[in-house]
Each structure stands twice: as structure tokens, then as C-alpha cells.
Amino acid sequence: MAVTKKLILASGSPRRVELLAQAGIEPARLLPMDLDETPKRSEHPRSLARRLSAEKARAALSAIKGDPAWEGSFILAADTVVCVGRRILPKPDLVSEASSALHLLSGRSHRVYTGICLVTPDRTLRQKVIDTKVRFKRLSGRDIESYLASGQWRGKAGGYAIQGIAGSFVVKLVGSYTNVVGLPLHETVNLLVGEGYDVHDRWLEG
């Protein structure tokens, strides 16, 4: 069966591209949306993930408006938020921010929320928010110092990337591992299939 519907990923994240590839899906276009991700006052982490994923999806939809090459495409957006209680951790660009996040996560449990938002060809928005609970070991000063030196924390929600060195910090994980990486595959594929995106035909083509 010929594959006819295109998928736009409203993200430039290599991790999300790799995760989709793992599920046999290759976006036809990457369309990263640069938005203000500052939480609103008293905004719950789950609400923030949901809001930002929808805002990215809508921004991508606006960006392709009037372009016949992309009319009728699916648009997939996602946003990942790491929190301890209601305290939302940053996606740090500064060593000091990453250091503070790692000290806070040390020896504690935290939650990772990823909001996914799919715009269908008829311009309906479908959303889900996935929740994973992660517990870190108690990090030594050398653990933190060496991890900061690795640079793997830069721009990552909560100041760590579970698919890298920080995977060795995880004592326990309850929920979706791919959610913590940045895109919950099970839920994403189910959402695409449920809205008529031909995932299985792409497997046959591969």
C-alpha cells in the first residue's frame, strides 16, 4: 500500500528523531518551534507539558499555512518536563543550573512528564500527557562534577539525559523509559495509528 500522508515533527531534537526511527517512522520534515517555555505562575508540571506541546503544534501548523506541499500533513509536537514535587527543573544552558538540578535529584524520586500533541489532517488536536517516576541514587560530589564535565546535561530537561551516562544514576524507573528520553513511543504510535497515520505500511516499506 502506498504511503500518502506526511508527518511533520515540530522539533529538532535528535533524540525524538531517533525514537521515531526506532518505531519505523521517518518524519517528512523537521520544523522546530522556538517558544518561550517559562512556566506560568503556579502552573503544574503536567499542565506545562500539555500546554507547551499544544503551543508547538499550533505554531508549526501556522508555519505551514498556505503551503500546498504540506497541506493535509500530520504534525507531531512534544515537550518534556522534569519536576520534584511541583518544582519544575530547567533545561539548563549554564553549569550552575545543571549542578543545582543534579543536587536536587540526588537520592530522590522525581517525575518526568511528556506532553504529546498531534494535529490531524483535518486540523483536530489530539493530546496525551505521559508520566514516569524515576529515582536517582545518592550522587557523590565526583559523580556530579564528572557528569557536568561531560556536557551531556546541556539543554536536557532536569539537567540529565537518561540515554547517556546518567542512565547509571537510575535506581528505579516506573513507567515509560522512552518518555524520559523525550517521546513515549507506545503512546505516540498508538495516537498516530488511531488517527489514521499509516505506521504499519511504513514498516512494510522498510
Q: Which residues are catalytic?
A: 79
Task: Classify residue 175 by burial, with Cβ atoms within 10 Å: 0-12, 13-18, 19+.
Answer: middle
Q: How far apart are CA 96 and CA 101, in angstroms?
A: 9
Per the structure block, which three cell numbers stand in for 145? Answer: 562534577
Q: How far apart are CA 63 and CA 44, in angstroms?
A: 28
Q: How far apart are CA 144 and CA 173, in angstroms?
A: 20
Neighbours of 78 (CB within 10 A): 27
- Among the listed residues 122, 121, 155, the one whose alpha carbon sits nearest the alpha carbon of residue 8: 121
Q: How far apart are CA 114 and CA 129, in angstroms?
A: 6
Angle at 55 between CA 65 and CA 28, to 5 degrees: 50
